[in-house]
Amino acid sequence: MTGPVVLITGGASGIGAATARRFRRRGGSVVIADRDTIRGTAVAEEVGGLFVATDVGEPADNTRAVEATFDTFGRLDDVVLNAGVPGRCGLHDFTVEDYRDTMRTNLDGVVYGLHACLPRMRRQGHGSIVVLASIAGLGGSPDLFYATGKHALVGLVRSAVLSPAAHGIRINALCPGLVDTPALAEHRRALRAHGLRLADPGAIAAAVETVLTDPGTGGVWTVQDGQPAAPVPPPEVRLASG
């Protein structure tokens, strides 16, 4: 086994599945951690990898996925914290249940994923992690709590690299624009009618690889249809001093 070992949350569909296929083509070993057992098993079989039934909103599930990776492949080189859902409500139709359901996948799931993989990666002495945020995490969006969670992921990545828990491990965020995946299927036609461009999931998988292999850490990158992945300059905000 020469290629990298990668764990992909939400790897049963869309960007995660495209990333699994890309790693397989490059000789990598793939672990799919997803709550969709049927599609997750199918993608894992297709790429000759391992499927671990995982709800990223459950801390123990994240730990189990990481442990299963080490048990099967002996190491974990790359992690793609990709599982995500559209927002279930806004302020106009707010319910605590829908709000929490959005946040438990899009934000808690990434926190639990980092918490599960960082100690094991630090012990092995290397590792690279990409968090799938969104361009909605850099600006405003009508999908209010989706955007809120994605903004939080940008802050989480910029701050997590300052933690001793991340020493020696690279963590970066990737913020795609619109991508043609099942998550957007019902809006595809309307988005295109508004002149908006949807990227192919394979192009986002290529961007994931670019960010995973970049030597930097704490970076926030964007990728949009027809444009390569590029880092976003951090905002110039400093604590007052002197």
Ligand X SMILES: NC(=O)c1ccc[n+]([C@@H]2O[C@H](COP(=O)([O-])OP(=O)(O)OC[C@H]3O[C@@H](n4cnc5c(N)ncnc54)[C@H](O)[C@@H]3O)[C@@H](O)[C@H]2O)c1
Using CB under 6 A, list all residues that contact ligand X.
9-10, 12-16, 34-36, 54-57, 82-85, 105, 109, 132, 134, 176, 178-179, 181-184
Q: Is 242 helix (H, G, I), strand (E, B) or coil?
A: coil
Q: Rounded to an integer, what distance in angstroms lies between the CA atom of residue 226 and that of residue 90? A: 31
Residue carrying the six token digits 């442990």: 67
Q: How far is the CB of 164 from ligand X (least distance, A)?
A: 27
Instruction: Judge whether 146 counts as a catalytic residue.
Output: yes
Q: How far is the CB of 124 from ligand X (least distance, A)?
A: 24
What sign does the dihedral 97-99-101-104 (CA atoms) show?
negative
Q: Rounded to an integer, what distance in angstroms lies between the CA atom of residue 226 and that of residue 212? A: 20
If the CB atoms of residues 28 and 113 are measured against ligand X, the closer one turns out to be 113
The tokens describing 181, both together, are 């995946």
How many alpha carbons fall within 13 Å on the CB side of residue 84?
A: 31
Q: Do 175 and 138 touch, CB atoms closer than 8 A?
A: yes
Q: How far is the CB of 2 from ligand X (least distance, A)?
A: 28
If the CB atoms of residues 6 and 179 are measured against ligand X, the closer one turns out to be 179
Q: How far is the CB of 210 from ligand X (least distance, A)?
A: 16
Catalytic residue chosen out of the listed positions 51, 73, 99, 146: 146
CA distances from 183 to 46, 133, 188, 227 (A): 21, 14, 10, 21
Q: Which residues are catalytic?
A: 146
